[in-house]
Amino acid sequence: MSTSFLRLLFLGGVALLLSLPLIAQQAQTPAERPEDNLAPADFTNIIKEAWTFLKDETEALSNASATKTEFETTLEYQQRVANLRKEYLAKVVKFSEDKKYAQREFGILFKANLVSYDADTRVYRLTSNAAVEIPYDIPWLDVSLDDNPLVVLADTIARGYRNTTMQLKMSPPLRYEVPLELARDVKGGEGNLYFRVRLTLNMLQENFTNEALLRMTPFHIQLLNRETNAVYWEQNL
């Protein structure tokens, strides 16, 4: 079963979850963290750097260990491949440590759009068209996103080129249950309204075979006003 098909299957499977109302909280202004306000293009640059490193190193390992040379015994070849794999894994660990991926939490901003408010049900409907360009999968490198109800990967084909994006699952629109007074406050700051998704990035190859894995783990989402830093709603993913 292809990765693209699994992603499309997942996109359909979470639609029902998003019909449930999200309950508003009193607006808060918590302290921000380093790298908490990345534009989609900023995170694209970060993940592309890790992807390019893994792509080049994994391809080099594959080429160097593909065949036994004419003057190698089988035992010598197996030992050489084992040494190459150890060197490869050490390079990945060093790159990850240099970039401090284990300590970093990335906060990506997705512009939020207010569709409509129903004063009777006190429900706002919201969407987001923002997307993060993600490097696509290749035979020796897979980019994965841990399962969660709101952040997904989607594959599209445009002009013969394959594109992968990370986006929010908001079709149908997300339902946000909010009192009238707070809804007016949300509307007043519509131009500065964003969803902030926090995630971690892991490139370590704990179970490496012949395919490297670049893993993203979303763990938190907020609806906030970027001008005032007021947080209207949040939940763990």
In the prediction, which pLDDT does 128 show? 97
Mean pLDDT of the chain: 87
Q: H or E stretch including 61?
A: helix 40-65
pLDDT value for 30: 53
pLDDT on residue 13: 39
| Residues of the domain holding 137 | 3-236
Encoded tokens for 218: 């979303």
Q: Is 0.85 surpassed by the pTM of this model? A: no
Q: What is the pLDDT of residue 149?
A: 93
Query: What would the pLDDT profile of 49-58 be if each residue is shown by its tens digit?
Result: 999 999 999 9
What strands, in cross-sheet order, belong to the sheet with 113-118? 22-23, 174-177, 123-127, 113-118
Q: Which residue has the higher pLDDT, 1 or 216?
A: 216
Closest CA relative to residue 223, chosen from 189, 199, 200: 189
Handedness of CA 199, 204, 209, 210 (dihedral sign): positive
pLDDT confidence of residue 197: 97
Cα–Cα–Cα angle for 171, 174, 178, nearest 5°? 165
pLDDT value, residue 29: 52
Residue 228: count other Cβ atoms within 10 Å of its Cβ: 12
- Start-end of H helices in 105-216: 180-188
Q: Is 174 exposed, middle or buried (0-12, 13-18, 19+ CB in 10 A)?
A: buried
Token pair, residue 153, equals 């990967």
Q: How confident is the model at residue 31, as a pLDDT?
A: 57
- pLDDT of amino acid 163: 86
Which of 136 and 221 is assigned the larger pLDDT? 221
Q: How many domains does the chain have?
A: 1
Q: 78-116: per-residue pLDDT in tens?
A: 999 999 999 999 999 999 999 999 999 999 999 999 999
Tell me what pLDDT residue 28 has.
56
- Is the model more confident about 211 or about 28? 211
Give pLDDT, residue 1: 43
- Find tokens 């949300």 and name the residue: 186
Residue 136 predicted with pLDDT over 90 = no
